[in-house]
Structure 1
Amino acid sequence: MIVAPPPRRLLACCLGLAAVLLSACSSSTEGDVSPRVVRPTADAAFDYQIGGPYRPPAGVRAVARDRSAAPARGLYNVCYVNAFQAQPDARAWWAREHPDLLLRNADGRLVIDEDWDEVLFDISTPGKRARLAAIVGRWVDGCADDGFQAVEPDNLDSYTRSQDLLDPADAVAFARLVADRAHDAGLAVGQKNTAELLARHAAVGFDFAVAEECARYDECGAYAKAYDDRVFVIEYRAADFTRACRAWGSRLSVVLRDLDVRPAGTKGYVRRAC
């Protein structure tokens, strides 16, 4: 990642009329994308809840939550899916059921994202990408079944931690498979970070962006241009949040969160909006 993201970390429109009104003007009918896909509107008040769900603050119209959580009724809901790496508590399952889908170096050792102790998926060949997309696709289908309107596949940039075993083309090819599955399920798809791949967003089929710390790294403008301001910005430092609000608060959805993305009511919780 460009920076360490918050820990995991970590029904559809019928959840409520508010979700429909939020995005009705942004329904995608371009290309082969289903008209059921509803893009988020620009500058919708947003909350990032992937560390645990809680009652959205007053005025919030869009929320992101982990795929294990229920969507927030009446809002535009983005489903967090760790699509390019294995959650630590799932490593044993992957090693037992699909050991060849975990990336290994020349010494046979697993390639791990040290920040989160997550093994990278091996997306280096069409065959492995197809098998991984079938598994991740079931998670995406679950998001749609639960009533989310969009999906946020995380760790698009896993290739940057792959010891040069993966490259951007691998990431784009796999992301396209996930995006196609999401669109087939009626979900919009968000590009998570990885400004380096913004030029490829149309080839993948991304509909909006979730950009962590884009003000800190002077990337908000690039995301705004690529996605016509359909960008959810999360900052983790007060100074960066202030900068984001001054420059982009009238156009993009900007929120300040604590680095651990704690639920409201817990020690250390921080959440502010422009």
Structure 2
Amino acid sequence: MRRLKALFAAVFTVGLLVTASPAQGAALPAPIACPDCRHPDLRTSWQWQLSSLPTAPYLNVDMYDIDGFDASAGLVSDLHATKQGRMVVCYISAGSYEDWRPDAAQFPAAVLGRNLDGWAGERWLDIRQYGGPLGAIMRARLDMCKAKGFDAVEPDNVDGYTNKTGFPLTKADQLAYNAWLANEAHKRGLSVALKNDVAQIPKLLPYFDWALNEECFTYEECTTADNGSYGYDQFIAAGKAVMQVEYTLATSRFCAKANAQNFNSLRKHLELDAYRVACRGV
């Protein structure tokens, strides 16, 4: 969630009340397998660029993670064509409303919560209500990612239960929503990243194909040894890649640790522009 918003906004309207999540109080659904999904290898060079779109000549990296709304199908195709085997990942926010998005008017007032601190035009969502129009909006976003030719999806803001959202979200609510998101991605042949939400890794690991973390070295929460029962080393042990970013730490303070954990770590600017320093040098 620590990324710069687009510099434009759209007027929105509010709609109908929505139904509560059908999964509240129920066991999580079984993970939907996606044997044909493309996912990053444990060691993957990558670029994460959200505040602008990449332009040719592109970096010689194995994976680009870019804004799903802003990117065209042509750009996705070009990124594929200019490096054999390159993955392209579709960034969307799955836990917040953004007032500049073209589908902003579709969000009912009942799902809109508090503003995200520090992020103008963005509000938390009542993720419990994915059984109604909220779920339809998110399915349409995943359909967009698929239609544009993306290989994978990065759903952002999927840790609302740890924030002041305006809703009494619980751990169980977040687990249900995140598992649903992962299964919906797999239905479309898209691999899916678990973005942050580090404390729920043990239960969500079967649903997600790889992970993307912001600042776990800053907050000393990267590994099971740090936390006691959860950590990104659990993704690595399962053969699933970890993409990781630090914003303020010097590379000398985290790169050796990241490489030892087999993380694909970068130093980036907070606005997630084209700047990057890769711990592994590529």
| TM-score (normalised: structure 1) | 0.76
What SS does structure 2 have at the residue aligned with 1:142?
helix
Q: Where do residues 35-54 of structure 1 align in structure 2 (5 Å cutoff)? A: 35-54=35-54
* 1:60 maps onto 2:61 in alignment: yes
Aligned equivalent of 1:258: 269
| Deviation readout 1:23-81 (Å, 9 max, x if unpaired) | xxxxxxx9631222122111211111112121475431111101021432242111101
Indicate the SS of the match to 2:127.
Answer: coil
1:18 corresponds to which residue? none
Query: In the alignment, which residue of structure 1 is the partner of 2:216?
Result: 214
Report matched runs for 1:158-237 at 5 Å: 158-159=160-161, 160-163=163-166, 165-202=168-205, 205-221=207-223, 222-227=231-236, 228=239, 230-237=241-248
User: Which of these residues, 126, 137, 149, is aligned with residue 122 of structure 1?
Assistant: 126
My pick for the range that moved more, 225-234 or 45-54, is 225-234
Does the CA-based 8 Å contact 1:213-1:235 persist in structure 2? yes
* Alignment length (residue pairs): 234
CA distance in structure 1 between the aligned counterparts of 2:31 and 2:142, rounded to whole angstroms: 21
* C-alpha contact (below 8 Å) 2:242/2:264 kept by paired residues: yes
Q: Deviations over 1:95-136 (max 9, x none)?
A: x75222223xxxxxxx221221311111234xx444312211
Matches within 5 A, 1:118-157: 118-125=122-129, 128-157=130-159
Residue pairs, 1:59-78, within 5 angstroms: 59-68=60-69, 69=71, 70-71=75-76, 72-73=79-80, 74=83, 75-78=86-89
**3-state SS of paired residue (1:255):** strand
Distance 1:57 1:225 in 2: 32
Query: Whose helix fraction is larger, Structure 1's or Structure 2's?
Result: 1
2-side partners of 1:58 and 1:89: how far apart? 29
Does residue 273 in structure 1 map to residue 278 in structure 2? yes
Secondary structure, aligned partner of 1:248 = helix
Q: What is the CA–CA distance in structure 2 between the aligned matches of 1:58 and 1:93, rounded to whole Å?
A: 33
Q: 1:137 to 1:157 in 2, by over 3 A?
A: same
Query: Are positions 1:7 and 2:4 aligned together?
Result: yes
Cα displacement (A) at 1:252: 1.6
> Which amino acid in the other structure matches residue 66 of structure 1?
D
In structure 1, distance between residues paired with 2:50 and 2:195: 13
In structure 2, distance between residues paired with 1:101 and 1:247: 40
Unaligned residue ranges in structure 1 (runs of 5+)? 11-29, 104-110, 264-269
Given that 1:156 and 1:194 are in contact with CA atoms closer than 8 Å, whether structure 2 keeps it comes out as yes
Give yes or no for the alignment of 1:245 onto 2:250. Answer: no
Task: Provide the identity percentage.
Answer: 27
SS of the residue 1:156 aligns to? coil
Seen in structure 2, the aligned counterparts of structure 1 residues 138 and 158 have a Cα distance that, compared at 3 Å, is same
Distance 1:113 1:58, change over 3 A: closer
